């Protein structure tokens, strides 16, 4: 059996098909304003929560979990009122914290089963689901090992397991690839993609690693100094370019690249394996690429606009905010 349970967690739908709605949400700690007039309306899906340190991401996650009351404003998550839902809201959400928060002495299956009971599941059901989820996350061979014997990668997976044991429609992920080596990070991102695409889980992924969001999420919310600077589909927010292109070239490229430079083009990136990113001068037409390639005996196998990536989008939005644009 997969990660989904026999009875998926039900959630109120009074607010329609929206995963969350926040209206004028603010949070202050004394004189410090952590969140200021947050307005969000997001449908189910995979959402990246981005922002520099101190942007307000942790405060927002705590409010969405019902652990921290807003100082003003209102909101709904999964149809639950943030001001009154409390435990009912937390039982409908899975939360994977950045800190380990593991209990020494417990075995993997015991830890995940305990999380299920804390979410409100009957003990036998929690035990059954713990084994199912551990198998799905490829921890079946480690289910009876004590948590202090787990590697960093296994600890990250066991934290994900306890967030999934009660089959929530929404999971909140705080730096899920923290401390992982490249192979472990790749495996975790693969799991998150599968949870979203194959099992229909909505998720809010809070991280400072833009590559994680680009790999997993289709929607982003960019926070800075407690304010939402941008929100929406990544594809809609990115700047479309007509002055930069990605090329895939087969053959000896040295003379081809030199000729591009003579024509006024600038090589933004060359991975030495035939993949180029090229900025072109005003008035450039794409057939010029094919003419030069043919002249130098190279094969142009791919050509597409080099639109703004998530890293460029993120830093552009922060710069525009700083400059008051």
pLDDT at position 185: 93
Query: Do both 198 and 84 map to the same domain?
Result: yes
Shared domain check, 256 and 172: no
Question: Is the pLDDT reported for residue 15 higher than 60?
Answer: no
Interval 240-245 mean pLDDT: 81
Span 286-313, mean pLDDT? 89
Q: What is the rounded average pLDDT of the residues 21-49?
A: 93
CB-based contact 27:34 (threshold 8 Å): yes
Say if 67 falls within a structural domain. Answer: yes
Looking at the structure, tell me whether residues 66 and 153 fall in a common domain.
Answer: yes
pLDDT tens digits for range 67-93: 888 999 999 999 999 888 888 888 899
**253 and 152 in a common domain:** no
Query: What is the per-residue pLDDT across 184-233, written as a single tens digit (0 to 9) for each?
Result: 999 999 999 999 999 999 999 998 888 899 899 999 999 999 999 989 88
For residue 289 the two structure tokens come to: 């690429």
Distance CA 17, CA 202 (A): 12
Checking if the pLDDT of 150 tops 80, the result is yes
Q: Are residues 113 and 81 in the same domain?
A: yes
Task: Verify that 75 and 224 share a domain, yes or no.
Answer: yes
Helix ranges restricted to H, 119-206: 123-136, 152-164, 182-197
* Residue 297 and residue 207 share a domain: no
- Between 222 and 1, residue with greater pLDDT: 222
Return d(Cα 228, Cα 55) in angstroms, integer.
9
Residue 312 lies inside a defined structural domain of this protein: no
Contact 130, 121 (CB under 8 A): no
Counting the structural domains of the chain, the total is 2
Residue 105, in any domain of the structure: yes
Q: Which residue has the tokens 């552009």?
A: 316
The mean pLDDT of 98-103, rounded to a whole number, is 86
Q: Please say if the pLDDT value at position 285 is more than 70.
A: yes
HEC states along the chain? CCCCCCCCCCCCCCCCCCCEEEEEEEEEECCEEEEEEEEEEECCCEEEEECCCCCCHHHHHHHHCCCCCCCEEEEEECCEECCCCCHHHHHCEEEECCCCCCCCCCEHHHHHHHHHHHCCCCHHHHHHHHHHHHHHCCCHHHCCCEHHHCCHHHHHHHHHHHHHCCCCCEEEEECCCCCCCHHHHHHHHHHHHHHHHCCCCEEEEECCCHHHHHHHCCEEEEEECCEEEEEEEHHHHCCCCCCEEEEEEECCCHHHHHHHHHCCCEEEEECCCCEEEEECCCCCCCHHHHHHHHHCCCEEEEEEECCCCHHHHHHHHHHHHHCCC
* Sheet strand arrangement including 299-305: 266-270, 275-279, 244-250, 299-305
Segment 285-298 shows an average pLDDT of: 93
User: Are 200 and 126 in the same domain?
Assistant: yes
Tell me what pLDDT residue 16 has: 55
pLDDT category of residue 7 using cuts at 50, 70 and 90: very low
What pLDDT shows up at residue 2? 52
- Supply the pLDDT for residue 307: 76
CATH code at 215?
3.40.50.300
Structure tokens at 172: 């909140």
Whether 211 and 124 map to the same domain: the answer is yes
Q: pLDDT-derived band of residue 8, with 50, 70 and 90 as boundaries? A: very low
Domain that holds residue 280: 244-305
Does residue 252 share a domain with residue 203?
no
Residue 128 within a domain: yes
Look up the CATH number of the domain holding residue 296: 3.30.70
3-state secondary structure of 257: helix
227 by Cβ neighbours in 10 Å (0-12 / 13-18 / 19+) ranks as middle
Specify the pairing of strand 202-206 against strand 244-250.
unpaired
Q: Which residues pair with 277 in a beta bridge?
A: 246, 269
Give a yes or no: residue 181 inside a domain. yes
First vs last C-alpha separation in the chain = 51
Question: What are phi and psi for residue 73, nearest 5 degrees?
Answer: 90, 180
39-72 confidence digits (pLDDT tens): 999 999 999 999 888 889 989 999 999 888 899 9
Token pair recorded at residue 56: 């307000």
| pLDDT surpassing 60 at residue 120 | yes
Which of the two residues, 266 and 16, has the higher pLDDT score? Answer: 266
pLDDT at 85: 81
Same domain for 221 and 261, yes or no, is: no
Taking alpha carbons only, the member of 58, 95, 97, 63 closest to residue 80 is 63
* Single residue among 212, 233, 254 that ends a domain in this structure: 233
3-state secondary structure of 324: coil
Report whether 165 contacts 133 (CB < 8 A): yes
> How many other C-beta atoms can be found within 10 angstroms of the C-beta atom of residue 144?
10
From CA 168, how far away is CA 96, in angstroms rounded?
Answer: 12
Same domain, 194 and 270: no
């Amino acid at each position: 059996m997969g990660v989904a349970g026999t009875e998926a967690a039900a959630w109120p739908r009074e607010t329609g098909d929206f995963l969350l709605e926040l209206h004028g949400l603010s949070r202050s700690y004394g004189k410090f304003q952590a969140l200021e007039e947050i307005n969000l309306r997001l449908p189910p899906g995979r959402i990246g929560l981005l922002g520099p340190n101190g942007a307000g991401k942790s405060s927002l996650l705590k409010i969405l979990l019902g652990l921290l009351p807003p100082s003003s404003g209102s909101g709904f998550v999964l149809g639950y009122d943030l001001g009154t839902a409390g435990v009912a809201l937390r039982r409908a959400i899975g939360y994977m914290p950045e800190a380990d928060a593991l209990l020494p002495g417990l075995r993997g299956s015991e830890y995940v089963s305990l999380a299920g009971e804390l979410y409100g599941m009957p003990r036998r059901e929690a035990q059954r689901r713990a084994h199912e989820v551990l198998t799905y996350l490829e921890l079946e061979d480690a289910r009876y090992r004590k948590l202090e014997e787990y590697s960093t990668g296994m600890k990250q997976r066991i934290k994900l397991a306890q967030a999934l044991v009660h089959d929530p429609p929404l999971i909140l992920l705080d730096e899920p690839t923290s401390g992982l080596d490249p192979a472990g990070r790749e495996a975790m991102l693969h799991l998150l993609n599968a949870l979203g695409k194959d099992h229909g889980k909505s998720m809010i992924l809070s991280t400072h690693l833009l590559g994680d969001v680009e790999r997993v999420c289709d929607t982003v919310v960019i926070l800075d100094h407690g304010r939402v600077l941008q929100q929406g589909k990544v594809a809609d927010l990115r700047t479309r370019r007509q002055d930069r292109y990605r090329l895939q070239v087969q053959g000896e490229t040295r003379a081809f690249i030199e000729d591009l430079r003579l024509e006024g083009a600038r090589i933004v990136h060359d991975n030495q394996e035939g993949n180029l990113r090229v900025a072109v001068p005003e008035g450039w037409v794409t057939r010029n690429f094919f003419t030069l390639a043919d002249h130098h005996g190279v094969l142009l196998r791919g050509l597409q606009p080099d639109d703004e990536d998530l890293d460029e989008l993120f830093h552009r939005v922060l710069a525009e905010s700083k400059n008051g644009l």
